[in-house]
Amino acid sequence: MKSILFACSLFFSLNCCAQMHIDDQFPGGNVILENISGDTVYFKPDLTGTEGNWFYWNFQATSTKPQTWYFKSTKKNTMTGLGAAYSEDGGYNWMWIDQKDNLGPDLFAFTFTKPNQTIQFSFAQPYTQNNFEHFIQSHIGDNRLKQSIFCQSNQGRPVEKILISNFDIKPSFKILFLARAHACEMMSNYLIEGMINNLLSDSPEMVELLNKAEIMIIPFLDKDGVENGDQGKNRIPRDHNRDYSGTSIYATTRTIREEIPKWVGGLPWIGIDLHNPWIKGEHNEWAYMVGNANPDIEAQQRIFAQIMAENRKGPLKFDIEHGLLEYGTAWNKGSNYEKGEPFNAWAAQYFDKGLRLTTTIEFPYALNHGQEVTAQNAREFGKDLIRATAIYIENLDE
């Protein structure tokens, strides 16, 4: 949210006979409005604080009258294969635009059907603090869930920590899930919703898991970036997932390094970091795990991927052929980590000292093996993920 954009959008609205107003003055908002000419809005992502290019944008558009508007990104690679997503209720529910309005790699159309209608548009399906609070309300009061503050962000925002377990039984295993190390990677939070719904579903497999394990979920590592509408990825001087070596500059990564070993307390544990990849193309339009530099950990990742593939119940495909990007393949090389260690490299130091598995999971924004990704089927994938985790732990006990 950049205050100057309100003035800019108002200026362009006036030059367009007050027919279209664009703004990003809401949590997670991000846009640079370049021009409104005729029936076309020209825009691009705000890359403030980002090294190089990235693709996150999220804005509201209000049309004073019913008509079709065209939205043109002046930067390439800022739209998914499905074009743009839109919300009619302020960002709580999202849909992909009608594919007849997906007019090219940088252009989409939308027809406003009533006067002064406001539609929120984004490259995918944003998820902020408001979404999380709306979701978690249905689980408040469940004695298997405890919500507290993990730490304060660099800008003073509370960073949530969720613990889920049967707290009447001492756990014999700890499981950690992290998300939003890169602020723009919002689809991870829909996986978390699915995991929490499944964990508290009273299914026999989840009851057994909660009798054995304590699960910690930190849904917003880069809370400031999420709320400010930052890219988060490739943040200058380094982003949250390159902050696990040397002296951490972010409160959340610093607290993870200090507190997670204490929380684990010598028990066996798993650490899983949820991410979303580049916007589209090869290695970006299917779900997969990022192979670890430690070959023994990568062997465990392969086992976990097999379990995921064999026990999937949700609609989104996950297969062995694409399910693990081995270390040294494509972008997953040492040169990608020159600015600092990611979470899974930090966690790997505890392998054979209690850690059984660590992995990064990349979940696509829009297309998974050609399937349309939605909030709902992403939640179903989250259910599959926590189910696979339960099976993996059960197999360790055998």
Of 45, 5, 47, the C-alpha closest to 25 is: 5
365 falls within a domain: yes
170 falls within a domain: yes
**Is 318 in the same domain as 233?**
yes
**Is 147 in the same domain as 108?**
no
Q: What integer pLDDT is reported at residue 18 of this predicted model?
A: 61
127 falls within a domain: no
CA atoms of 158 and 149, how far apart (whole Å): 6
**Is 117 in the same domain as 142?**
no
CA atoms of 103 and 73, how far apart (whole Å): 12
Q: Which residue has the tokens 């703004």?
A: 23
CA atoms of 382 and 330, how far apart (whole Å): 26
Give per-residue pLDDT as tens, 201-249. Answer: 999 999 999 999 999 999 999 999 999 999 999 999 999 999 999 999 9
**Is 202 in the same domain as 271?**
yes
**Is 310 in the same domain as 386?**
yes
Given 98, 122, 146, which residue is the final one in a domain?
Answer: 122
Q: What integer pLDDT is reported at residue 75 of this predicted model?
A: 97
**Is 112 in the same domain as 157?**
no
Alpha helices, H only, the chain: 3-15, 129-136, 187-199, 204-212, 223-228, 251-264, 295-311, 343-348, 375-397
Given 63, 88, 122, which residue is the final one in a domain?
Answer: 122
Handedness of CA 150, 385, 366, 333 (dihedral sign): positive
CA atoms of 62 and 69, how far apart (whole Å): 10
Ramachandran bin of 333, using left for φ above 0, alpha for ψ from -120 to 50, beta for the remaining angles: beta
130 falls within a domain: no
For residue 205, give the CATH number of its domain: 3.40.630.10
Give per-residue pLDDT as tens, 101-141. Answer: 999 999 999 999 999 999 999 999 999 999 999 999 999 99
252 falls within a domain: yes
Torsion of CA 104, 184, 364, 189, to 10 degrees: -140
Both tokens assigned to 341? 């260690």
Least confident of 164-168, 178-182, 337-341, 374-378: 337-341
CA atoms of 163 and 123, how far apart (whole Å): 31
Residue with more model confidence, 128 or 9: 128
**Is 246 in the same domain as 339?**
yes
129 falls within a domain: no
**Is 204 in the same domain as 86?**
no
Domain count, the chain: 2
Q: What integer pLDDT is reported at residue 8 of this predicted model?
A: 41
Confidence of residue 7 (pLDDT cuts 50, 70, 90): very low
**Is 269 in the same domain as 353?**
yes
**Is 84 in the same domain as 170?**
no
Q: What integer pLDDT is reported at residue 398 of this predicted model?
A: 64
Q: Average pLDDT of 193-200?
A: 98
**Is 179 in the same domain as 299?**
yes
131 falls within a domain: no
109: β partners = 70
Confidence of residue 12 (pLDDT cuts 50, 70, 90): very low
Ramachandran bin of 232, using left for φ above 0, alpha for ψ from -120 to 50, beta for the remaining angles: left
The helix/strand/coil state of 139 is helix
Its domain, for residue 76, covers 3-122
128 falls within a domain: no
| Mean pLDDT value across the chain | 95
Residue 15 has pLDDT above 60, yes or no: no
137 CB-near residues (< 8 Å, 6+ apart):
none
Residue 14 has pLDDT above 70, yes or no: no
**Is 250 in the same domain as 362?**
yes
For residue 22, give the CATH number of its domain: 2.60.40.3120
Given 74, 94, 122, which residue is the final one in a domain?
Answer: 122
